[in-house]
């Protein structure tokens, strides 16, 4: 757990440093500056692997674009929140409630392949790398023997697990004015974990497509 918070802090520090550096450069430049800065929010469809199931993906990012050289750097934080998942290996436990929170944190490089100025449209392709964190909580149904007279006794128990691992991704972005569409594929190192004597797998590898607004 301490390792995850250290990694989270390091990633946030990198994001902050890049943003501060770009802001200082932008403040010293004139209107024809090589550097432009944007922030964006996005939402869309995410299809991960190994029982995480399809769901809604939310995200925010900070973008520093180097106009003269046709590329940008960005720092992204995504959020996947899901309750209807099936991540346990056989034999599967009896679960009454569960929740998975997945936070992919990543830095990206995007290159502008083409631009249609009359339509205010840009086409980008790029790649990124980062570290994902997961926070999982689960409640089990337990059946204990209450004896011949009382019969089975149903109880419940809860547990929480968290962890993470590295991933990289490839993406494309079509920006029309301030609106963009971004398909992305995540290649993640799966994480095997255990709770209550039951083994489960967290594997964010999968495809996402999001719609966003850049400002």
The confidence band for 26, taking pLDDT boundaries of 50, 70 and 90, is: very low
Beta-sheet pairing, 206-214 with 152-176? unpaired
For residue 153, pLDDT over 90 is answered with no
CB 112 within 8 A of CB 67: no
User: Range with the lowest mean pLDDT among 57-71, 102-116, 131-145?
Assistant: 131-145
For residue 183, pLDDT over 60 is answered with yes
Alpha-carbon distance 71 to 111, whole Å? 4
| Domain assignments of the chain as residue spans, ordered by start | 2-214
Instruction: Tell me the two tokens of residue 130.
Output: 């980062």
Architecture of domain 2-214: Beta Barrel (2.40)
DSSP string for 47-64: E-STT--SEEEEEEEEEE
The fraction of the chain above a pLDDT of 90, given in percent, is 63
Work out the mean pLDDT of the chain and round it to a whole number. Answer: 85
Residue with tokens 């009896």: 94
Closest among 180, 165, 159, 172 to 207, alpha carbons compared: 172
pLDDT value of residue 40: 94
Closest among 164, 211, 213 to 45, alpha carbons compared: 211
pLDDT value of residue 155: 80
- The vertex-9 CA angle with 12 and 73, nearest 5°, equals 25
Per-residue pLDDT, averaged over 181-206, amounts to 93
User: Range with the lowest mean pLDDT among 13-17, 71-75, 166-170?
Assistant: 13-17
């Amino acid at each position: 757990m301490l390792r995850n918070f250290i990694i989270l802090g390091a990633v946030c520090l990198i994001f902050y440093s890049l943003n501060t550096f770009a802001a200082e450069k932008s403040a010293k430049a004139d209107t024809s500056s090589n550097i432009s800065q944007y922030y964006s929010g996005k939402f869309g469809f995410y299809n991960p692997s190994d029982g995480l199931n399809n769901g809604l993906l939310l995200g925010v990012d900070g973008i520093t674009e180097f106009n003269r050289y046709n590329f940008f750097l960005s720092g992204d934080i995504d959020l996947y929140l899901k309750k209807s998942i099936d991540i346990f290996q056989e034999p599967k436990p009896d679960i009454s409630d569960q929740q998975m929170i997945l936070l992919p944190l990543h830095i990206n490089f995007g290159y502008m392949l083409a631009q249609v100025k009359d339509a205010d449209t840009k086409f980008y392709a790029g790649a990124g790398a980062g570290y994902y964190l997961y926070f999982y909580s689960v409640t089990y149904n337990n059946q204990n023997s209450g004896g011949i007279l009382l019969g089975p006794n149903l109880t419940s128990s809860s547990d929480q697990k968290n962890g993470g691992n590295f991933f990289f991704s490839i993406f494309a972005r079509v920006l029309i004015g301030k609106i963009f569409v971004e398909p992305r594929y995540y290649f993640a190192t799966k994480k095997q974990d255990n709770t209550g004597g039951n083994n489960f797998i967290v594997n964010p590898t999968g495809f996402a497509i999001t719609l966003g607004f850049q400002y």
